[in-house]
Amino acid sequence: MPTKTLSGTPVEVNDEGFFVDAQQWTKEMAPEIATEIGVPTPLTDRHWTVIDLMRSEYFEKGTGPTVRKISKLSDVTTKELFVLFPKGPAKLAAMVAGIPKPKGCI
């Protein structure tokens, strides 16, 4: 399992770059990950609404929400999600939020 250093702390990620252990993540790491994967920075409150939701859903349900779920569980619409996290919102938001890749087809 590859290790990389974020905010001076080594963290374990899988081959795709998703965190293996969501507990290793800290808020300070988010902007660094975002820049790395092409999420527009600086991260706004809207980004954080999604990031916080990704984490709370993950810890509650064992998997992060899909794009449809995010738009249903928050006031962030599908359109806005693709602006905040272009090129795959659920996937990229999960990466920034330090959780594994969300499972789900829809």
Partner 1 sequence: MTDTQPITPAVVDAKIEKVSIIVSKGSLEGIYPALIMANGARNEGIEANLFFTFFGMDAVHKDRHDHIKVATVGNPGLHVPSLVGVIPGASALMTKYMEKQIEKLDFPGIAEFVEMISDTGAGLYACLASVELFGMDRDDLIDELDDIITVGEFYDMAAGGQIIFT
Active-site residue (options: 10, 75, 103, 105): 105
Residues 6-35 as x/- pattern, contact with partner 1 by CB under 8 A: ------------------------------
Taking the least distance from each CB to partner 1, the nearer of 2 and 86 is: 86
- Tokens 């006031």 appear where? 75
Residues 73-102 as x/- pattern, contact with partner 1 by CB under 8 A: ----xxx--x---xxxxxxx----------
- 90, 70 in Cβ contact below 8 A? yes
- 96, 41 in Cβ contact below 8 A? no
User: Buried b vs exposed e over 4-32: b needs ≥16 C-beta within 10 Å?
Assistant: eebeeeebebeeeebbeebeebeeebbbe
Q: How far is the CB of 55 from partner 1 (least distance, A)?
A: 19
Taking the least distance from each CB to partner 1, the nearer of 89 and 98 is: 89
Q: Is 13 a catalytic residue?
A: no
